[in-house]
């Protein structure tokens, strides 16, 4: 079969040249579309279920929340591992699926099972939710929201948090490839009703009455409509509160014809939820930071570029005196990591090309062998893009030029040696083709076994090494593609 391929390549030089050009174009296109990252994502295929319940201790969280969720998701097929963590007020259940399982199918199955789990969790003890579709390497962009110099007194930690939650975060959420935007620091704004026990007792009012009044007096109601030809006027009652003053005027109860309002028994003010941390900038007061989480499997370079473009638009809509500044950008890490594997291979390729031309003694033959290097790399990049292997420090740094040019060197050197030692004088085109065919077909049988050993035996073993085979899997795949491309090209190197 190999002899037939060699003979076909010799007889159809135009087709081989056209195929090489197509490979170059395909490789350049694939290179522009290849996801680039610093390291391969070795996170397993998992879905996390998070439930918060501030009133429960760890034992109660395990009993009333974690255990019912685990029992509900156990029947789901293709589960590899099921583990959980129960802490004070927090339950985290991690469901690990097989690698070939589609993450959206897995989340759909869990969503269906959570309906059953919610029925087994006591009312008011928490509502389980799935974590966003992201991984441990999903932190691609972090920024800080702060007050400009001269506006420190105008915006406090609560104001900055409000800008982040209601201006910046909603716009970033819609960006392609963004799974979630987390907020750190600041004070989460709340409307707080501080009940005064003395006034509550003197007005003969109870806490349940206040809660019931707040609930029933914070809603709109709809009625019928008045048909006034040619128009119809819809009737509705507006009862939603819009300010602190509206809350203060809510009637708690009517006692002896005198209405008791919320402001008579409590103080209504702005407050914040319990804080567990803070963010500062340059040691000059509080700020608010945001963390952009990338969707699992997305192209980090592309997502960061889109986020930067969106942030430029958001900055124009910020209130006067508020600014946003990034302090973590995945692009810098990716560029530094890729730069580590760009320069040495380029220098190595130039050295290999120089040595090939020097030792073979024929610059045309040396360039033919050297052309296998970029063509094999373009073939490897095309296959990486086709099979979803990202370009990173592990995959790109694993390419060995010695393995790539091995077959081409042997074939071309054998051809050059045969042509230089022929006694036929000046060869015609048909004689040249015959000499090339006999030299290539003879040496091809001897060197093919070494390439097969590397391609079939060595690399699959390498793919099984590491953390569940994931750390070295991209490296093994990339080298396999490069060697496969070099093997195909060496057959047509004549």
Q: Decide which of 159 and 273 is more confident.
A: 159
How far is C-alpha 365 from the geometric centre of its chain's CA atoms? 45
In the chain, domain spans = 2-33+361-491, 46-130, 139-188+279-330, 192-272
What percentage of the chain exceeds 90 in pLDDT? 37
The confidence band for 468, taking pLDDT boundaries of 50, 70 and 90, is: very low
Quote the tokens at residue 101. Answer: 């399982």
The full DSSP string for 305-319 is HHHHHHHHHHHHHSP
**Distance between CA atoms of 448 and 461, rounded to whole angstroms?**
20
Using only the alpha carbons of the chain, give its radius of gyration. Answer: 34
Residue 438 CB-density burial (10 A; 0-12 exposed, 13-18 middle, 19+ buried): middle
154: part of which helix (H) or strand (E)?
Answer: none
Which residue, 367, 363, 385, 386, is CA-closest to 375?
367
Which residue, 1, 115, 14, is CA-closest to 491?
1
- pLDDT on residue 7: 72
| pLDDT > 80? residue 439 | no
Q: State pLDDT tens for residues 306-342.
A: 999 999 999 999 999 999 999 988 888 777 777 776 6
Poorest-pLDDT segment among 39-53, 237-251, 333-347 = 333-347
pTM: 0.76
Give the three-class secondary structure for 45: coil
Q: Which CATH class is domain 139-188+279-330?
A: alpha beta
In this chain, the answer to whether the domains covering 139-188+279-330 and 192-272 adopt an identical fold is: no
Cis link prior to 40 (omega < 30° from 0)?
no
| pLDDT > 60? residue 462 | no
Quote the tokens at residue 414. Answer: 């054998």
Q: State pLDDT tens for residues 167-182.
A: 999 999 989 999 999 9
Quote the tokens at residue 379. Answer: 């073939």
The CA angle 238-242-247, to the nearest 5 degrees, is 95
- pLDDT on residue 465: 47
* Separation in Å, CA 11 to CA 426, 437, 440, 479: 20, 10, 14, 30
Which residue, 146, 253, 140, 272, is CA-closest to 206?
253
In this structure, are residues 292 and 172 in contact, taking their beta carbons and an 8 Å threshold? yes
* CATH number of the 192-272 domain: 3.30.2090.10
- The architecture CATH gives domain 46-130: 2-Layer Sandwich (3.30)
């Amino acid at each position: 079969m190999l002899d037939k391929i060699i003979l076909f390549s010799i007889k159809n030089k135009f087709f081989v040249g056209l195929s090489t050009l197509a490979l170059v174009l395909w490789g350049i296109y694939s290179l522009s579309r290849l996801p680039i990252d610093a390291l391969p994502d070795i996170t397993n295929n998992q879905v996390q279920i998070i439930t918060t319940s501030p009133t429960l201790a760890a034992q109660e969280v395990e009993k009333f929340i974690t255990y019912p969720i685990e029992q509900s998701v156990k029947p789901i097929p293709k589960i590899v591992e099921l583990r959980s963590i129960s802490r004070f007020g927090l339950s985290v259940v991690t469901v690990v699926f097989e690698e070939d399982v589609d993450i959206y199918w897995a989340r759909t199955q869990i969503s269906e099972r959570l309906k059953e789990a919610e029925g087994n969790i006591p009312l008011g003890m928490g509502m389980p939710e799935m974590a966003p579709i992201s991984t441990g390497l999903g932190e691609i962009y972090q920024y800080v929201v702060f007050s400009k110099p001269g506006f420190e007194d105008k915006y406090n930690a609560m104001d900055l948090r409000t800008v982040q939650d209601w201006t910046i975060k909603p716009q970033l959420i819609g960006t392609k490839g963004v799974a979630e935007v987390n907020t750190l620091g600041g004070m989460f704004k709340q409307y707080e009703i501080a009940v005064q026990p003395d006034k509550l007792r003197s007005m003969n009012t109870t806490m349940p009455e206040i809660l019931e009044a707040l609930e029933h007096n914070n809603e709109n109601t709809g009625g019928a409509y008045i048909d006034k030809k040619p128009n119809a006027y819809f009737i509705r009652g507006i009862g939603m509160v819009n300010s602190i003053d509206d809350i203060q005027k809510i009637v708690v109860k009517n006692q002896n014809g005198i209405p008791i309002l919320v402001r008579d028994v409590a103080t209504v003010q702005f407050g914040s939820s319990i804080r567990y941390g803070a963010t500062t900038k340059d040691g000059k007061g509080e700020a608010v930071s945001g963390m952009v989480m990338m969707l699992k499997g997305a192209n980090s370079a592309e997502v960061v570029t889109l986020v930067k473009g969106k942030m430029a638009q958001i900055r124009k809509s910020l209130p006067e005196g508020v600014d946003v500044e990034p302090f973590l950008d995945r692009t810098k890490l990716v560029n530094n990591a890729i730069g580590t594997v760009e320069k040495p291979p380029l220098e190595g390729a130039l050295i290999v090309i120089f040595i090939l031309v020097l030792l073979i003694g024929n610059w045309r033959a040396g360039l033919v062998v050297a052309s296998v290097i970029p063509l094999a790399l373009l073939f490897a990049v095309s296959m990486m893009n086709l099979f979803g292997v990202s370009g990173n420090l592990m995959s790109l740094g694993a390419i060995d030029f010695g393995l790539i040019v091995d077959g081409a060197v042997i074939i071309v050197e054998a051809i050059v040696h045969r042509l230089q030692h022929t006694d036929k004088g000046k060869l015609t085109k048909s004689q040249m083709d015959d000499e090339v065919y006999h030299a290539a077909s003879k040496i091809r049988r001897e060197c093919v076994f070494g390439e097969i050993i590397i391609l079939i035996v060595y690399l699959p073993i390498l793919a099984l090494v590491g953390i569940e085979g994931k750390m070295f899997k991209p490296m093994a795949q990339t080298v396999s593609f490069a060697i496969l491309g070099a093997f195909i090209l060496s057959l047509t190197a004549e």
